[in-house]
Structure 1
Amino acid sequence: MNIAEYNGVWVFAEQRNGELQKVSLEILGEGRRLADELGVKLTAVLLGNNVACLADILGEHGADEILVAEHEELENYTTDGYTKVLCDLANERKPGILFIGATFIGRDLGPRVAARLSTGLTADCTSLEVDVTNGDLLATRPAFGGNLMATIACPNHRPQMATVRPGVFSKLTEKKENYNIEKVDVHLEASDIRTTVLEVVKANKDIVDIGEAKVIVAGGRGVGSKENFELLQELATTLGGVVGASRGAVDKGWVERDYQVGQTGKTVRPTIYIACGISGAIQHVAGMQESDMIIAINKDESAPIMKVADYAIVGDLNKVIPEMINKLKESAETEEPLVCRI
């Protein structure tokens, strides 16, 4: 492999049912920074059927170039179909770096593409840097159960690949105006795909995306029971927010996994994060430490979460939270709601 032939930063732009996934736009924001440091182009790769209308969004969010690959066999995601098209493009155009979102689709697609391209893959990254002297990607991810952060490089193979966790990076705030859209030829037959999508059935659940929430009231094992989460829900409703949970609470069945925050859950960046009965294990903190304001409520003043918090309240959450709710309601009746002022 002649590494000198490979350059440019690529982002797989994941879409589902014609809607771009926010993680792709977040990666474009970070990819823009890395591409500028390396002095190379940032390319978004969009796969699907009748999805060309999404290309402008990718350009406005940082891409210099958008490659649009449309085919009827790409209507629904299949590992075989998407892998073949993405690998064909990578072999032809030789990107130096390829990023994929660490979603259900990305975690399936990334390893298959890496194996077919005979390169490495760093999964679930939370930080990305580049060595401008040689173009090496320095991808950082939690390791050993989240007890330390490992920075991984792949100096001898290209493209360098990484899957990136949703919610870790921010989208560009200013729209980019100059970009190029190119429709590429897709060589794909039905026989290339070993599986057939018979039907797509969506779960009939009203799930709130905690990654978009401005206020999150999260509970851990210290909450004590599923019934006690109703108190957290009341506080969240008063603040106009949503309820989250640590893995401990989810494992006990008190809260659905969709609301789990942490290394094995979702990464969130709310304006206010209230941690109730959460010890503050590094696996959980990794998913919420970028919150603008962290308020911790815990009986144990020496709990790790208290050191992370901007405001640490030592006490029984069953007494503290009702008092907070009363004060918030009083504030709302007399003046601008407290959460707006914060």
Structure 2
Amino acid sequence: MSDIKTGSSYTFDSFEVTKANSQAFEKAKQFAENADSEPLAIFGGTAAGKTHLLYSVKNAIKQNNPELTVILTTTADMRSALAEILNSGGTSEQFREKYLQADVLLVDDIQELAGKEAIQNELILIFNSFYESGKRFMMTSSQKEAGYGIQDRLVIREFWGDFAVITRAYIHAQFESNAERINQRKDLLHKSEQLCWKLMHDADFDIDAFKSYYKDVWTYFGQYIGLFDMDREDLRIVCYLNRIDTMLHCKTPVGLKSCEWNTCILFTHALIYTISSHDYTAYRGGFFGNGVLFIPLPHHAGTDDSLEITIDEFDEWFQKFCEGYQRSNRRMCRLHWRFD
């Protein structure tokens, strides 16, 4: 996994200080350097630099005080950890112990817990323990007001210590180029160009090749787009995806069944949406989180309004949607036959 994905490149030195974020920068740096620091909350919108500051704190503490245990996590990861422990017969106390072993706890994206009472209650107990024991904890959120699904008790804990608000989006400093990433992107751009050419010239459409390409793109963005790090060259891949989506909508590719065609359109739209939607990445944990694909479903899909899947589930769900569209086509054919 790249340094960018693990956050090792995100330090105070690589943070681009501006008028909009200077207060948050100084308070985060003081938090990292002072063992007696009060709890700290950083508020700001999408791409404000909150996550960069969290990693900067973690990296600074690990460098200057390697004997300390620092846990940096997201609320999405905490929800998954709680569900896994409870589903395996464990207790909420075991869940809390997982985080209470830390000397410093850093929690990203508190706003994602909106409406999730159980995990909010657990986080409140964890913060209480850290506060009472004098250990450091820091959190980030895109919201600092109550009334959006976060309990007042949790909002209050955001203001137990110090806080800072970042008022504008943040453009981080450029890091050293990553040779592995460059090679992967070059390969994807070549495959994207080939797929567009085949669609444009009505060449036979290889469904297995499409699925392989799809997972390659998913893996790439899931690996490198983890901390609001969208390279300009990455936008070329997104542009190709939009062209593929447009051409798929125009006509059924040669050699492709109607059910496969509809499924390709659905998943291509989902990939574009997951990569580019600020709402999803900020609040639902898309590629800026744990690599989950968000599929906004059409009303005729016969299921809920949305679906979240991992890459390991892709082949299974692709087949399910193919079969679903095939059944739908059969029903339509029978309906037309009756009217005829």
- TM-score w.r.t. length of structure 1: 0.28
Q: Name the structure with the higher helix share.
A: 2
- TM-score w.r.t. length of structure 2: 0.29
Q: Name the structure with the higher strand share.
A: 1
